[in-house]
Structure 1
Amino acid sequence: MFAPLVAAEPDPAATGEPVAVQALALQCFLKLCCSPDFQMLLNQIRGKAVVFTGHSLGGAVAALTALHYLCISSSSSPPAPPVLCVTFGSPLLGNEALSRAILREHWGGNFCHVVSQHDVVPRLLFCSPDAVPAHIIVGMQLQQWPAWTRHTGAVSTVTAHMADTDKDVLRQLIQTHVGAVAVEQKLAASETTGGSPYRPFGTYVLCSPEGAACVDNPTAAVQMLYATFASQSSAGAESPEAAHSCYGELVLKMPHHLLLKRWLRVDDDMPATPNYDDGVSLALEASGIDVMVRVCAMEASTARHWLKTSKRAGRRPSLNCARLATQLGRVTPCRAQIEWYKALFDAEMGYYDAFKQRRSPRKYTKVNLNRIKLGQFWDRVLSMLDAGQLPHDFHRRAKWVNASRFYQLLVEPLDIADYHRHGHHLTSGSYMTHGRERRYELFDRWWHEKGCTGAGGGITSSMSAASASSRRRSKYAGLTQDPCFWARVEEAREQTESARRERDVAELAMKLEELQEFERYSRELVATKEVSVDVLAPQSSYTLWVEDWNQLKLRAQG
């Protein structure tokens, strides 16, 4: 149901925790999933742009539904249309592992959480599980009941008791725990024993009667949730129930605040400040932090720092992307030398077999070094992408999708050759199932999400894609369009040799059928010129396999 998110965590033992979500929200979501109406609606919206929304616990369920929709759409073809989830006063949904997984899948931009300044619900789960007294939780839940049910008997007594005696206690409790999490993040410390495991993800819109401020950095979101809540005046603060049910009014006021020209209140004696600082001050006022009130001075200072940090974090991915473009230019000579090496052996045996047999040792050494350098560069790119240090749509940008694809088509055959030259296929298993690097699988996914056709998947899907293509090449491709073609050739050669020794009729028939399937696949690639000329070189592994296969067919027919 959430397979991509679970698979996104490489090793729970290494990271310290698996992906986990809030139990009540998950139960509500699972109950919703079992509904025939929900399944019918899910089928109706598939392939369409969708907005999920919800308030309070409904917001958490909406977020889970959006995650489910993103998960089932991630493997679809064509790629899923835009998905947006907007929650209002929603409690935190999952732990830090979930936040990392969403970041790794680049889905953070699909979630927008609207939080009012005094609302305790979005901040409640920062408290440790046993910190909030049970009667306060019951009181808050009863306050959400329809009004006509709250004026009778025990319900009225409990809610009134909660409103009179526990309101300030609850605020102080939440402020203390959110502050503890904020300090913990400032120190970059690991979670304290008994602390809350919940962490935010996505974009947070922090609302107040004065406007709204946005942060899309999880750490900055925690700091701002604390600063906005701690800066409220306890004497004039609205009740928890009112703060949790005011979102309709806040949303209606948002366009007015966006259009209204607001002025900063400044003293005549204050020195002039840069426009950037003025903008941060406006954001502080919009989030409900009064920069002119001394009581709020500490919270305002903290919030100002994290708003600036969030802004820098927002710029940093773009700067990192620009630096990577420069670094890509620096490794381009490595790629060019491999292309030169390929052209050198195209007419004889192809660069795959030349590299596998270490023809011309000096050239082999240089090309192998370039292969390693390019692999290290792309591994570094993926590490930055996993850490959220690159733009969220990096893997959809044509420049990087095309660059990664060209690298893959040029270099992966050398990785396959190296894998087989060292005999890893005998000790570890097939290259495609046991030896393929993660980067190549991701590059296949990027290319697939771009909506490109061609080889690269399974044999059957590649054949259908090639057959369906109305555009035919007039000459052979510069690089074979199936990056795993040589791995398939190696498996076919092993299968052919095994079939020669096979004495069992049933086993022989099965192996011959698999070889015939590969023959159809490879012939289709050659016929559509989806292979490079090195595939058809006189001494290439593919040419040698064709000769062996033809002899085996004659023997089987005889």
Structure 2
Amino acid sequence: MAINRICLTQKQQQQQQQNNSINDLISELESHENRMAQQMKGIDGIDKLNRVKIKMACLEWYKKDCKAKGIGYYDSYKNLYFCSDNDVTKHKKVLTNYWRNLVEDAERKPQKEGAYMRETWLYAGTNYRRMVEPLDIAEYYRQEGKRDYQTNGRSKHYILLEQWQKEHTEKLAGAPNDKKKQNVAGSLTEDSCFWMNVEEALISCKQLKDESNIEKQSTRERLNMFEQYVMDQINNYAVSPDIFLEKSSFMNWWKDFQEIIETSHDSPLRGFMKNCRYRQYEKGQF
């Protein structure tokens, strides 16, 4: 009986060892499959991102084409001056669907530890936001009577992309370097809500001209704040020189603002505009 028990125990041990080996093999295979799945997911993600970049290249061409015609791509799209403006809507839709879904996925399951997005996607997402959000702003203010895009029109995925980008780059903040100055001619405006601020400033100018407006003081203060905001962007080489094109909404605002302000009004922006220093700005020599 004792011998039988010993044999049984040995068989049980052997069986247990076999089971452990099988379990280890299964775990190793599962781990390998997970790694392969992640690699395939990464490859698929890069492939999709590359396809999206083609749409971005189309918008880059559109931006350059508009500038060659003497008008910025924001104002061209807002006013639908050319047939190409309608084509842009298709590219914008594809890009927005991709980034909105990607941001939602990243918010639920961050791409890496300590950050919602890997740098490759964050960089691409920042370029997308700076290129495409102005088009959304153009659509918004194209509608009569629209106000306050920031509160009433801005998509959550833009807010998150901007937040993640700021969290990533705030430690790198500093004065504009020579490379940034040299490349300003082809750059995108860094604040993707810049044109919203321009539109609101245009509305404020109209309100200030309205003699029945009882909030002239607060309206004037908003315009002064906008004036300082623009100068800050210029000093940091953070706006595209396209804003200074003759037919741009910004230049329209400046003309309206000139009619409102006193001749004695003096400010850095007034000096910059009066002396046409934006020509040096485009060359990175301001």
Q: TM-score, normalised by structure 2?
A: 0.75
Match of 1:353 among 61, 75, 85: 75
Is residue 486 of structure 1 aligned with residue 195 of structure 2? yes
Q: Which has the higher helix share?
A: 2
Q: Which runs of 5+ in 1 are unaligned?
A: 1-264, 281-307, 455-464
Asked whether the 8 Å contact 2:112–2:118 carries over to 1, the reply is: no
State the match for 1:450 in structure 2: 168
Alignment of 1:160-199 (within 5 A): none
Greater C-alpha Rg: 1
Aligned length: 248
1:474 and 1:269 map into 2 onto residues whose CA distance is 68
State the match for 1:498 in structure 2: 207
Is residue 405 of structure 1 aligned with residue 126 of structure 2? yes
SS of 1:439's equivalent in the other structure is helix
Q: Which runs of 5+ in 2 are unaligned?
A: 1-12, 266-286
Offset of 1:333 from its aligned partner?
1.2
Q: Which has the higher strand share?
A: 1
2:66 and 2:171 map into 1 onto residues whose CA distance is 28
Is residue 375 of structure 1 aligned with residue 96 of structure 2? yes
Q: Which has the higher contact order (CA 8 A, sep 6+)?
A: 2
SS of 2:261's equivalent in the other structure is helix
Is residue 336 of structure 1 aligned with residue 42 of structure 2? no
State the match for 1:548 in structure 2: 256
State the match for 2:10 in structure 1: none
Q: Percent identity?
A: 26
> Any idea what the Cα deviations from partners look like across 1:345-390, whole Å, max 9, x if unmatched?
12512000000011212x1222110001000001221232244385
The one-letter code sitting in structure 2 at the alignment partner of 1:481 is E
Asked whether the 8 Å contact 2:175–2:236 carries over to 1, the reply is: no
SS of 1:546's equivalent in the other structure is helix
The 1:391/1:549 distance shift into structure 2, 3 A limit, reads same
The 1:421/1:486 distance shift into structure 2, 3 A limit, reads same
1:278 and 1:525 map into 2 onto residues whose CA distance is 55
State the match for 2:237 in structure 1: 529
Is residue 324 of structure 1 aligned with residue 45 of structure 2? yes
Q: CA RMSD in A?
A: 3.2
State the match for 1:276 in structure 2: 25
Q: TM-score, normalised by structure 1?
A: 0.40
Offset of 1:422 from its aligned partner?
3.0
Moved more, 483-492 or 547-556: 547-556
1:331 and 1:512 map into 2 onto residues whose CA distance is 43
SS of 1:417's equivalent in the other structure is helix
Asked whether the 8 Å contact 1:317–1:390 carries over to 2, the reply is: no
Alignment of 1:226-241 (within 5 A): none
1:328 and 1:436 map into 2 onto residues whose CA distance is 23
The 1:401/1:389 distance shift into structure 2, 3 A limit, reads closer
1:384 and 1:550 map into 2 onto residues whose CA distance is 47
The 1:388/1:397 distance shift into structure 2, 3 A limit, reads closer
State the match for 1:437 in structure 2: 155
SS of 1:451's equivalent in the other structure is helix
The one-letter code sitting in structure 1 at the alignment partner of 2:41 is N
State the match for 1:519 in structure 2: 227
Offset of 1:522 from its aligned partner?
0.7
SS of 1:452's equivalent in the other structure is helix
2:109 and 2:131 map into 1 onto residues whose CA distance is 28
The one-letter code sitting in structure 2 at the alignment partner of 1:441 is I
1:387 and 1:443 map into 2 onto residues whose CA distance is 14
SS of 1:482's equivalent in the other structure is coil
Asked whether the 8 Å contact 1:408–1:483 carries over to 2, the reply is: yes
